[in-house]
Copies of this chain bind each other. A is one copy, B any other.
Amino acid sequence: MDQPLILDGLRVAEDIKRKVKEKVAGLKEKGIVPCLATILVGDDPSSATYVRMKGNACRKLGIESIRIHLPKETTTEELLATIHELNDRDDVHGILLQHPVPSHIDERKAFEAIHIDKDVDGVTSLGYGQSAFGFGLYPSCTPAAILSIMDYYQLPIAGKHAVVIGRSPILGKPVSQLLLNRNATVTICHSYTQNLEHHVKQADIVVAAVGKPRFVQGDWIKPGAVILDAGYNKGNIGDVDYDACVAKSGAITPVPGGVGPVTIATLVKHTVEAAERKATLQAQ
């Protein structure tokens, strides 16, 4: 068998960022600076790191980043008020609410409050529905990143059998819809799935989005399968037992350096697209 292809997320992210830079330069000529507002509620250290990484990625590309840090006692109403304010601000093109928020907050209600034009992280039910129906502007970032990696490496999707493990609103569900729209046959597995191994063994494409370290085992993998690991567990460990799976796979994303950096690049890309779209609409 051929050597497995290691899918280098940093390379894909660089490719996306190169195009983003060009767009940012074009917008600056028109006097427009794209701007992402990030909202962090509470003091979870991983969440704080993620938000910082996203803000830094923006600034490196000349994109404004407004960081809003709310105390952990913030109420749903207060968070909604912040989101509404950002919806109304002319200089803000994208809004990212870092998941998870403290458990006393109605997170879904907060996500739903983000205006569709600024939902660059792809978290609203409307954005999900539009993407599922094939006309969404900003699909959820990790699912979009997975597709970008496959496209960058020209891995075929149409007619392939994709097995997605996980069904969260920002990962398992939307990646299933994107793969389906690219003409894959899609199986969605989750905690109630019986005989998960049996399903994964049939997959040409495996998307691991389950949130459990090294969950996907080497002997579950059909030889030559493409493995996309969207997991990011403590200690930089993915949802896939990489060492056990790599040799059997046809192509695989490592963790770190796989889906993660492409997700962040996608968020930045969506923010710039939102700024471009607004400029186009205003010029009309």
Contacts and interface: CB of A to CB of B under 8 A. Distances in A.
Interface of A: 108, 124-130, 132-133, 135, 158-159, 161, 167, 169, 173, 176-177, 180, 183-190, 192-194, 199
A185 B185 contact: no
Q: How many copies of this kind of chain does the complex include?
A: 2
Contacts of A169: 132-133
Contacts of A177: 173
Contacts of A186: 187-188
B192 A185 contact: yes
Which of A108, A187, A190 is packed against the most chain B CB atoms within 10 Å? Answer: A187
Nearest to A193: B185
Given A135-B108, A187-B185, A192 B125 contact: no
Given A126-B125, A129-B127, A133-B125, A188 B185 contact: yes
A158 B194 CA distance: 10
A173 B132 contact: yes
Nearest to A188: B186
A129 B127 CA distance: 8
A19 B139 CA distance: 39
Given A108-B133, A125-B135, 9 more contacts: A125-B126, A125-B130, A125-B133, A128-B133, A129-B129, A173-B177, A183-B190, A185-B189, A186-B188
The 7 closest A-B pairs by CB, nearest first: A129-B129, A125-B129, A183-B192, A128-B129, A187-B187, A185-B193, A126-B126
A93 B118 CA distance: 31
